[in-house]
Structure 1
Amino acid sequence: MLQHIIQLLPQVLVDGITLGFVYAVVAIGYTMVYGILELINFAHGDIFMTGAFIGSGFLFLFISLGLMSSLPALLVFLIVIILSAMITGGMGVAIERVAYRPLRKRNAPKLIALITSIGISFILEDLVRFIAEWKTGNYIVTAPSLFNHTFTIDIHSIMPFFNNAKFQSSFIVVLVVTIIMLIGLDLFVNKTKWGMAMRAVAQDRETASLMTINVNRVISVTFFVGSALGGATGVLFMLQYGTIDPYIGFILGIKAFTAAVLGGIGNIRGAMFGGLMLGLIEMFAAANLSTLTGGLFGSEYKDVFAFIILILVLIFKPEGLFGKATIEKV
């Protein structure tokens, strides 16, 4: 059993890191909004899904225009991911302006805003499904492939107790782009005036407004950045896994929210770590759960395994791995 687990470890790391980076970037969208508004924006997972469909739509458009054969794949990818990020960023701002800001002005209970986010999630799912079926005749879409060259890491010849690991060139793209986005976001939040304003609003919204900070504008910027990152991650997911449907945002959004809670909701670096940890746990379970349980549970139970780990962490550290315990004053 142990030998089997060790042999598969390189492939588990490759697959887990890929999925973990996807979870990490989506989790950041949840934790940014929560840090400022204390709102769980459950529509964020469907913004991620919308970004995947927008990216695939641009790829099909480029194919119909004959641009895929005349432009380098990397340039096509950059155009697609930037356009998708801008569109989903604008969607995030529009959703905040139309759905959340009126509730905030009326001091509506946070439960109302939470229910509103769930409603927006269903609207996005059905709208994307309608458009996909209208254009393609099927709501399950297989996106064109840009990076499909397969590489093999020859580990076995150096360390015989490991099997070789395989990955596609899209893995490198996902890895590089997500690292750039994570580092860029960290610098934006910690080194820029907008980032300082976001941290001030997150700490005390009323005091920040007294210090001439435009709270509504800061919230709009937060939604734009979080939604743009979510849409860009949807494009990366589409490139890596190929097949998308209007409901991928629901389960992935729940997992990304889990990653945010695992790392410490409201903590950006905690969300990064929580996403990577959840991706690695999930891939480890998918590869080894059948072996560990003697065939009783297969890889389809990987989600249960991941959530059990989450529950155990929250039992012993409810604020998450990187969160700070708060004392409620009465």
Structure 2
Amino acid sequence: MVQVLVDAIALGSLYALVALAIGLVFGVMRLVNFAQADYITIGAYALVVPTASVTPPLLLGALPAALMIGGVLFVVVVLALLTERIAFRPLRNSNPSTLLISSFAVSYFLQNLVMLIHTGRPKSVGIGQSLANAVEIGGVRVPGVQLLTVGVTAGLLVALVLFLKKTPLGIQMRAAAENFQMARLLGMPANRVIALAFAISGLLGGVVSLLLTIQTGTLDLRMGLMPVVYGFFATVIGGMGSLPGAALGGFLVGVASVLLQTYLPVDLRPFRDAGVFTLVILILLVRPQGLIVTSAAKERV
């Protein structure tokens, strides 16, 4: 049981990071950015040389660890800022449906861009192999990558809380999430705050892409899709616009997924995702506004 809980917390940590990235952008822009999945994918593909080989030579992945991490995060943050500036800023005053369609268009464009450069074949890549070794803690063997995932998530959560509460830009971002129009009337630099939200979402996407690549050792065009789907569900469960709710929802979805995978009968395990989605529906039927409600969940005037 302890081993299962460790697995659940590690997976929930990954979903919490994705949910936070989605929740940040939604909080200030009312945009559910489904291109977040492609930020994760492109961050992972930045590790390798663009060839058709199944096991391509490493590019950023061949650098020392600090430079490799910095390179991947830089690529994804720049990509997030470019999509905000080119695709979303000109449509900022449009209705939410237009912004949502724009996010799908950006996603399809980025998917086809990766396919054009890297082809559609999955690639094998080996980074962080030493993290696959298990560490024994109190009789429970925990893979190093799970400890890394939980530790990184905890550190990023603390850093994000401190940023939002202690820095001027963080306070402006919280004000924008509460009432965007009023914050603008009081002098908040809208372009800077929204660009910062996208930059942070890109940073979180880069972290997720590195963790996923270390865990799976495989690059695929849709590797970011399911984490973002689960992250979106986590955001809805936690309460749209609530960052604590997004993190809580991520952990709940991760725990539910692992428990279903472990305790369902063998014949039903392929339907684990359906079980998670059913749980999401049940929670929303009981509490449609989410577990933690803020004024960010209300329509702006």
Task: Tell me the TM-score normalised to structure 2 length.
Answer: 0.89
- Provide the C-alpha distance between the structure 1 equivalents of 2:105 and 2:60, rounded to a whole number of angstroms: 33
- Provide the C-alpha distance between the structure 1 equivalents of 2:45 and 2:161, rounded to a whole number of angstroms: 27
In structure 2, what residue type is equivalent to 1:288? Y
- Provide the C-alpha distance between the structure 2 equivalents of 1:208 and 1:168, rounded to a whole number of angstroms: 45
Decide whether aligned partners of structure 1 residues 54 and 320 sit closer, same or farther in structure 2, where only a CA change above 3 A counts.
same
Question: What SS does structure 1 have at the residue aligned with 2:134?
Answer: strand
Corresponding residue for 1:16?
8
Q: Is the 8 A contact 2:48 2:61 kept in 1?
A: no
- Provide the C-alpha distance between the structure 2 equivalents of 1:63 and 1:203, rounded to a whole number of angstroms: 40
In structure 2, what residue type is equivalent to 1:11? Q
* Range with bigger deviation, 87-96 or 205-214: 205-214
How far 1:37 moved relative to its partner? 0.9
How far 1:165 moved relative to its partner? 4.2
Corresponding residue for 2:97?
111
Corresponding residue for 1:212?
187
Matches within 5 A, 1:164-243: 165-243=140-218
- Report sequence identity in percent: 31
- 1:82 matches 2:80: no
- Provide the C-alpha distance between the structure 2 equivalents of 1:149 and 1:198, rounded to a whole number of angstroms: 38
- Provide the C-alpha distance between the structure 2 equivalents of 1:175 and 1:154, rounded to a whole number of angstroms: 15
- Provide the C-alpha distance between the structure 1 equivalents of 2:231 and 2:137, rounded to a whole number of angstroms: 32
In structure 2, what residue type is equivalent to 1:48? I
How many residues were matched structurally?
Answer: 293
Q: State which of 112, 115, 118 in structure 2 corresponds to 1:126.
A: 112
Deviations 1:69-94 (A, max 9, x none): xxxxxxx3332222211221111111
Decide whether aligned partners of structure 1 residues 246 and 212 sit closer, same or farther in structure 2, where only a CA change above 3 A counts.
same
How far 1:28 moved relative to its partner? 0.6
Corresponding residue for 1:145?
127
Q: Is the 8 A contact 1:150 1:166 kept in 2?
A: no
Question: What SS does structure 1 have at the residue aligned with 2:141?
Answer: strand
- Provide the C-alpha distance between the structure 1 equivalents of 2:255 and 2:166, rounded to a whole number of angstroms: 30
How far 1:149 moved relative to its partner? 4.4
In structure 2, what residue type is equivalent to 1:113? L
Task: Tell me the TM-score normalised to structure 1 length.
Answer: 0.82
How far 1:231 moved relative to its partner? 1.3
Structure 2 stretches of 5 or more lacking a match? 51-56
Corresponding residue for 1:25?
17
Q: Is the 8 A contact 2:260 2:275 kept in 1?
A: yes
Question: What SS does structure 1 have at the residue aligned with 2:205?
Answer: helix
Q: Is the 8 A contact 2:135 2:144 kept in 1?
A: no
Question: What SS does structure 2 have at the residue aligned with 1:60?
Answer: coil
Corresponding residue for 2:254?
279
Decide whether aligned partners of structure 1 residues 213 and 46 sit closer, same or farther in structure 2, where only a CA change above 3 A counts.
same
Structure 1 stretches of 5 or more lacking a match? 1-8, 68-75, 156-163
Corresponding residue for 2:82?
94
Decide whether aligned partners of structure 1 residues 207 and 285 sit closer, same or farther in structure 2, where only a CA change above 3 A counts.
same
- Provide the C-alpha distance between the structure 1 equivalents of 2:123 and 2:256, rounded to a whole number of angstroms: 28
Decide whether aligned partners of structure 1 residues 233 and 327 sit closer, same or farther in structure 2, where only a CA change above 3 A counts.
closer
- Provide the C-alpha distance between the structure 2 equivalents of 1:226 and 1:124, rounded to a whole number of angstroms: 16
Q: Is the 8 A contact 2:181 2:300 kept in 1?
A: no
Corresponding residue for 2:54?
none
Corresponding residue for 2:289?
319
Corresponding residue for 2:46?
54
Question: What SS does structure 2 have at the residue aligned with 1:266?
Answer: coil
How far 1:30 moved relative to its partner? 0.8
- Provide the C-alpha distance between the structure 2 equivalents of 1:56 and 1:20, rounded to a whole number of angstroms: 28
- Provide the C-alpha distance between the structure 2 equivalents of 1:15 and 1:219, rounded to a whole number of angstroms: 34
